Structure 1
Amino acid sequence: MLLMLNLNLSFSQNDSIANVTFEEKLDIIMLLTETFQYSAAMKELKAIEELNPEVITESIENEVAYRLMLSRVYRLSAQPKDAIHQLKILPEIKDNLNLKLKVDFRRAALYAESPGLDFDLRAKKALPIINNGITLAEKIGDKNMIASFYNLKGSFLYAHCLTKNKDCLDTLQNVKPYYLKSLDLFLDIGDTLNYHNVLNGYFHLAIDEKSKEVDSIFELVNYYTRHSNYFPNLITSRNLLGHYYMLIKQDSLAYYQQKVLEKETLVKEKTQNSDNIIQKLKLLYEFDSLKANIDLNRGIIEQKDLAIIESNKRIKQNIIFSLLLGTLSVILIISLIRQKRLVIFTNKVNKELNKANNNYELLLKESNHRIKNNLQMIMSIIELDKNELPSDENKVLENISSKITTIASLHKLLDFKEHNQKVDLRTYFNEILNYFENFTKKKLKFSTNFSDIKIKSEKIIYFGLVLNEIISNTIQHRGVEGKIEIAVVKEDELYVFTYRDYSSFGKFEKNNGIILIEDLIKRFEGFNYSFNGEIGEYKFYFYD
């Protein structure tokens, strides 16, 4: 929200302002910020805090005024975090609602323009404060704050639309009512400075939107620019008038004239309110450069007139160019015809390849189906023979049957997935565990923990045989029934397989079963295999 200066003071940065009141000091500091002398403004604020700290805490109004000014200087000096911090350390304001509205307005403005946050996060922080501020201002009838919050909301939504760099006509239509409400309220209370400020924002929107009313808004802005002495509004208006001439009227000469007026305003303000000679010389140099640009632009216009005459001479040359272009067009048409024939031939070849690939997939599916059926037939024959053989020989047949089941489970999954490159480990292992739970005489209770992992079919067959052989060892050597823990979990970049049945093997001797397990693990590309005979634990690592 704009602040109106109560004083018309001119002083050097080296002069002392110790003899003026607290309010006058803040007015002088405001003047420094409006002429871009942020270092001098910060110096004066720190002087107040060091020399007269008691005046800051003398009343809540003084502390709020000081923190708001310090926050303003930090914001203009591109230190948004420090600016927000000054408002956070203010005590809670409950009784003075007008003062609370001022603080909330500045807090919302800081969040809305905070460069460290993306626009979605800015909106999440700023819009609730703005909406609550409008509600509270309407409740107490503070038209100035209502208008200020509407202007802030319109400006924020407009900036959000521009930053997203997308078609946001709907957003722009929603922005207009906020600017118009703000303009009506400031006009109603006779606040011409803030009215001019909001009018600048509405003019900017009209230029970007190229709306039908942009010319009428231009006349209004031009009027306030001619009759205003308030530096920030003048600078913004001159800049926007220049853009209007360049983007709407395509008048580069008028654009440069507005830029000259803008620099003249800046030089005048710096001359009145600062003794910074280097800054003045810089602005005067820019002023002279702009005048030179105007002269250059006039020369360009004259050159364009000469270019029109020269273009008539080139008409004859264009005839020859047209003939060449026609020849190139014929060549291009011939090339397109050849390209079309090539596309037709390529499509024909692709159809034949797709047909061959479909035949291959059908053959592979049929092969998996036949292998699965043959394995089921072999298992059925084994089951029939088991009933006619002694128990010792039955154990051999059961071991063979479980291995065939492991292989058949893989083909079952491949059949379902139709030529899968990889097989889900959890599904495959559950097929094997279901077999042992349903077809073994001993009651087995499995506790599993399988990570989501898919393994190539040519590798997972060995993994399944490892699990089959380990469970077979459990059935053979385990003396008591109990829970069997099986886990395949991820650790960093690799996986670890753990099987624990709590069997005690006593004095451990490597037998054919263990040797087979070690060989299958190597085929599976597992490593760091270990066996703990006291608790019946098998463990090894592998990559997916």
Structure 2
Amino acid sequence: MSSGLRIDQLIDSLNTYSLEDSQKVELLCQIAYHHHDPMMALQYGQQSLQLAQTLNRPLLIARAYEELAEAHRVLGNEVQSRHATTRALRIYENENEYHLAAALYAQTANYLLKDQRYDQAIRLLESAKQNYKKSGDNKKYALTCINLGEAFRLTQHYDSAKHYLYHALTCNYTEDSLIRGYALGNLGMVYHESIELKNAKEYLIDGIAIVEKLKDPYSTSVYLAELGRVYQQQGLKDQAEKHLLKAIKMAQDANLKEQIRDFSQQLSFYYAELHDYRSSLQYQRLFQIYQDSLVNKTNIQLVERIKAEYEIDKKNSEIQLLDQINLQRTYAAYGLALGVVLLVCLSLLLHRKNEQAKTANDILSEQKETLAHREKEKAVLLHELNHRVKNNLQMISSLLNMQKHELVGHPAEQAIHESKHRIDALSLIHQRLYQQDTQTKISVKEYFTDLILNLVYSYGREVKCTFDISDTPLLIDILIPLALITNELVTNALKYAFEETSEPNIHFEFQTKPCCASLLVRDNGSGFDPSQQKEGFGLVLTRTLVAQLDGDLRYTNQNGSIWTLHIKIDPLS
């Protein structure tokens, strides 16, 4: 059943059936729990809390506080979330509901672990462990010990980590496979990080054998990758490669994006150590794809959180303003009824209310300033993101340049040299975004001029370059493929066109109209016959990018090569 359908059914049940107040509280909590909109979840949670407080039912009140805490957490209201969680925990412990208290402690600790606030998470996990012990739930007690071991591993307190993981094994009286598999696998990771490779290998192999049967792709893939790293440190390259490849395949089958990112980076480093740079580059690209996806996801969540906070502040301000207006009208009606005798009192009241309205306006002004500050923070985040992407691309370009110097005379030298230029073209885009303090558009005149002059300089050729470029900003979604196409066409001219030309010349044009754009690259070289030559990787890449733009690329030979590209563009681009 889809989430939206379930919410609609719950709301219909609330509005249709005659329910007791306690049932309404439970139903409101369920709606808040399942609702996809955190603001609506917050409203239903507040309704359930008000009704539970009216009934004076402690456990219902605690349940409502749990839903409020979760809604505030999703909206980024950390103080309110912590306040609601504390109240719920206090009620559960006062009512001796140790199992419910332990579950809430553990859930809050997991959120803190994701935020890398390990010390706070460890304290909450200790409280969860004590409450599970009081409730007699041995399985949850053992799982909490495993989580404590993992938390201590992340803080590099390996002795404490081993203590809790061994304790989880010894208190597993029912020999539960889940507990044993996780405990053994995590022990293997602890021993690996403490450079005890023999023990790490044994525990990881035992843990994988168990969790693989439980069909847990996340844990299995993590343990497989860890075992691959152990084999790599032991010099067993075939075993290392086998386990790392198995781990990333399992992560891809289960669509575990963070694990795909981490495992692809490990494989990139592994193949780089073997000097298999093609495979290393392949997995580096895969790593970059998932890294960008996760970064974009984080940025989108941040923007949505800011929007949600803005809507809450806006609604609260409107409610306050409406309340004040209603109150003013009430007092005005009483003043008119009392007549002239109460005129002085009415004047005082109106003065007081005007002061309140002024205070409310001051609050609104402060809230507007806060929103403006948040918008500025968002712009700074995007600015910093472009800066970091530019730096990362420049680092990759430098690495390729270093590798090229080691491959002088090797057939791969030219391929690496050309790959470096493609990366430089992308790096220049993010550099422009960073320098021009813009988010999504770049002035093409300066960009194409710099791109072509940099290419000419890198090839060390005395080539005269002329330009006819309309000074138009373009979205990077269109500019990136155009930049790569230009890079390939100019590179081909620099490499092959001027062997018999005494005064080489390259002319570049780019013109835009409301719904289309045209690009032209012309040289005065010898030209070539496309039907007599096999297309290399550069031209294959160029035609792929042209197809991506839904464009039309044509070649003619008139005292040199002339490449002409026509594309359709959205007027908003």
TM-score (structure 2 length as normaliser) = 0.35
Higher relative contact order (CA 8 A, sep 6+): 1
The structure with the larger Rg is 1
TM-score (structure 1 length as normaliser) = 0.37
Higher helix share: 2
